[in-house]
Amino acid sequence: MATNPISPTIPFDVDGKHHGFLKLPYSRDDSAWGSVMIPICVIRNGEGPTALLTGANHGDEYEGPIALQDLAHSLEPSDITGRVIIVPAFNFPAFMAGRRVSPIDGRNLNRTFPGKPDGTVTEKIADYFATQLVPMAHLVVDFHSGGKTLDFVPFACSHVLEDKEQERQCAEAVDAFNAPYTMRLLEIDNVGMYDTEVENHGKVFVTTELGGGGTASANSARIARRGVRNVLKHAGIMKGEIERQPSTFLDMPDHECFVFSEVRGLIEPLVDLGEAVEKGQPIARIWATEKTGEAPVEYLSHKTGVLISRHFPGLVQPGDCLGVIGVHVD
Ligand SMILES: [Zn+2]
């Protein structure tokens, strides 16, 4: 059995606040004995639960890195009981390239779990988290947004799980995050996801989609900063009251929530994020790009609910997700 070559430059079990790196040896043209240096901050104050917090699982999603840089900078050991492990840029090579996937091996970290200790750079990162960091944690928060190609209404979400007690604990932590929308999400492709790995370890897992388009807004960054502190308070790690605002509860019960394009073309949105949608209502039409005189292709919602996600770039190709409808729950 191969050993994962990643080594932390700071201790996990010493009280105080430590800034350092997860050092991943990576020999290459511009650095023969070089390493990928993934920033990490560990804050510990005595015995208590451990939270593992990650941003930029996809490198072009920014609310997580912003909120976690802020947390690593401002949170002090005296503010907590237990331990907080902060990795603002989980797929660091992808983050530095401003890309969803790693420029080194082309891998999507969130489809690479459980990873391999002797695999590619991304596989080694996945394996290190799966075998070293996730087992230390009681609570795991992984920030996402839409990246360059999707945009979302800001939501935190949990998944439908076989273990109903675990599902309840995850839903409570997501509720504490208190994003403007609170979601129960059906993953369309959960094999290899960090989410699935963490949930299979029996941990409390919170994930988000807080915006998109390859940038952050003042509002989405605020939601991320407040949400992560709320979850730490909920877990009893951070002192203080949870800051609550109204949140809309939505469900994504099945694949009918998704609308995909089967054509290539110019997208005309007919519904904006957060707007109500009726079943059968067109949410977008796709115009031809290379000639005039053709009627557009209309794509209809299969559900009555709210548009929670939309395709972000102005052009679409077959197979692109045009939009996602969330369904109201009481
Ligand atoms: Zn993502």
Calculate how far, in angstroms, residue 80's C-alpha sits from the geometric centre of ligand 1.
28
What is the spatial distance between Cα 238 and Cα 316, in angstroms, rounded to a whole number? 44
pLDDT at 217 over 90: yes
Give the SS3 label for residue 128: helix
Cβ contacts of residue 30 below 8 Å, gap of 6+?
A: none
pLDDT digit string (tens) for 121-138?
999 999 999 999 999 999
Calculate how far, in angstroms, residue 78's C-alpha sits from the geometric centre of ligand 1.
32
pLDDT at 276 over 70: yes
Calculate how far, in angstroms, residue 294's C-alpha sits from the geometric centre of ligand 1.
35
Question: Could you tell me where the DSSP H helices lie in 55-156?
Answer: 63-74, 92-97, 121-128, 134-136
Calculate how far, in angstroms, residue 215's C-alpha sits from the geometric centre of ligand 1.
12
Identify the pLDDT of residue 188: 66
DSSP string, 172-237: HHHHHH--SEEEEE--S--TT-HHHHHHHTT-EEEEEE---TTS--HHHHHHHHHHHHHHHHHTTS
Calculate how far, in angstroms, residue 107's C-alpha sits from the geometric centre of ligand 1.
13
pLDDT band at 278 (very low <50, low <70, confident <90, very high): very high
Calculate how far, in angstroms, residue 192's C-alpha sits from the geometric centre of ligand 1.
13
Calculate how far, in angstroms, residue 110's C-alpha sits from the geometric centre of ligand 1.
8
- CA-to-CA dists, residue 115 to 8, 27, 121, angstroms: 18, 19, 10
pLDDT digit string (tens) for 34-75?
999 999 999 999 999 999 999 999 999 999 999 999 999 999
Q: Residue 121: phi, psi to the nearest 5?
A: -55, -50
Share of the chain above pLDDT 70, in %: 99
pLDDT digit string (tens) for 297-309?
999 999 999 999 9
Domain 255-328 has CATH 2.40.50.100: yes
Mean pLDDT over 19-33 rounds to 96
Q: Which residues pair with 142 in a beta bridge?
A: 54, 207
What is the spatial distance between Cα 287 and Cα 265, in angstroms, rounded to a whole number? 6
Domain 7-251 has CATH 3.40.630.10: yes
Calculate how far, in angstroms, residue 32's C-alpha sits from the geometric centre of ligand 1.
31
What is the spatial distance between Cα 321 and Cα 263, in angstroms, rounded to a whole number? 11
Which among 328, 186, 302 is positioned nearest to 254, based on CA atoms? 186
Give the SS3 label for residue 50: strand
Calculate how far, in angstroms, residue 20's C-alpha sits from the geometric centre of ligand 1.
24
Question: Could you tell me where the DSSP H helices lie in the chain?
Answer: 63-74, 92-97, 121-128, 134-136, 164-177, 194-200, 218-234
Identify the pLDDT of residue 189: 73
Identify the pLDDT of residue 190: 84
- In the structure encoding, which two tokens stand for residue 160, read together? 């439908």
pLDDT digit string (tens) for 178-213?
999 999 987 667 899 999 999 999 999 999 999 999
Domain ranges of the chain: 7-251, 255-328
Mean pLDDT over 102-107 rounds to 98
pLDDT band at 229 (very low <50, low <70, confident <90, very high): very high
pLDDT at 230 over 90: yes
Calculate how far, in angstroms, residue 50's C-alpha sits from the geometric centre of ligand 1.
23
pLDDT digit string (tens) for 137-187?
999 999 999 999 999 999 999 999 999 999 999 999 999 999 999 999 876
- CA-to-CA dists, residue 175 to 7, 31, 289, 327, angstroms: 35, 45, 43, 17
Calculate how far, in angstroms, residue 57's C-alpha sits from the geometric centre of ligand 1.
6
